[in-house]
Amino acid sequence: MYTGYNKSIQISSMTYHLKMQDYICEDCYMIFVPFRKNIDCPACGKKVSEGTELEYLNFINICLENMKYNMTSHGTYQAIKWYIGNYSDWMQSNIFDLCELIRINRPKELYNFLENEISQFDWDRPTIKHTIEITIAIYQNLSIEEKSIVKTIKQSAYRKIRNFLCRLK
Ligand SMILES: [Zn+2]
**Tens digit of pLDDT for each residue in 92-126?**
999 999 999 999 999 999 999 999 999 988 899 99
Residue 30 Cα, ligand 1 centroid: separation in angstroms?
5
Evaluate whether residue 40 is within a structural domain. yes
Evaluate whether residue 146 is within a structural domain. yes
Residue 109 Cα, ligand 1 centroid: separation in angstroms?
28
pLDDT tens-digit series, residues 28-50: 999 999 998 889 999 999 999 88
Residue 38 Cα, ligand 1 centroid: separation in angstroms?
14
pLDDT at 23 over 90: yes
pLDDT tens-digit series, residues 45-100: 999 988 877 778 889 989 999 999 999 899 999 998 898 999 999 999 999 999 99
Evaluate whether residue 148 is within a structural domain. yes
* Cα distance between residue 24 and residue 41, in whole Å: 9
* Cα distance between residue 99 and residue 101, in whole Å: 5
Find the helix packing angle between 58-74 and 144-168, rounded to 10°.
10
Residue 92 Cα, ligand 1 centroid: separation in angstroms?
21
**How many domains is the chain partitioned into structurally?**
1
Evaluate whether residue 21 is within a structural domain. yes
* Cα distance between residue 56 and residue 33, in whole Å: 7
So what's the pLDDT on residue 43? Answer: 97
Evaluate whether residue 4 is within a structural domain. no
Strand partners, 47: 40
Domain that holds residue 42: 9-168
* Cα distance between residue 72 and residue 66, in whole Å: 10
Evaluate whether residue 3 is within a structural domain. no
Evaluate whether residue 140 is within a structural domain. yes
Evaluate whether residue 2 is within a structural domain. no
Mean of pLDDT values over 134-162: 72
Residue 144 Cα, ligand 1 centroid: separation in angstroms?
35
Give CA separation, 47 vs 20, 27, 29, 53, 133, in Å.
Answer: 20, 10, 13, 10, 16
Task: Fill in the DSSP letter of residue 44.
Answer: T
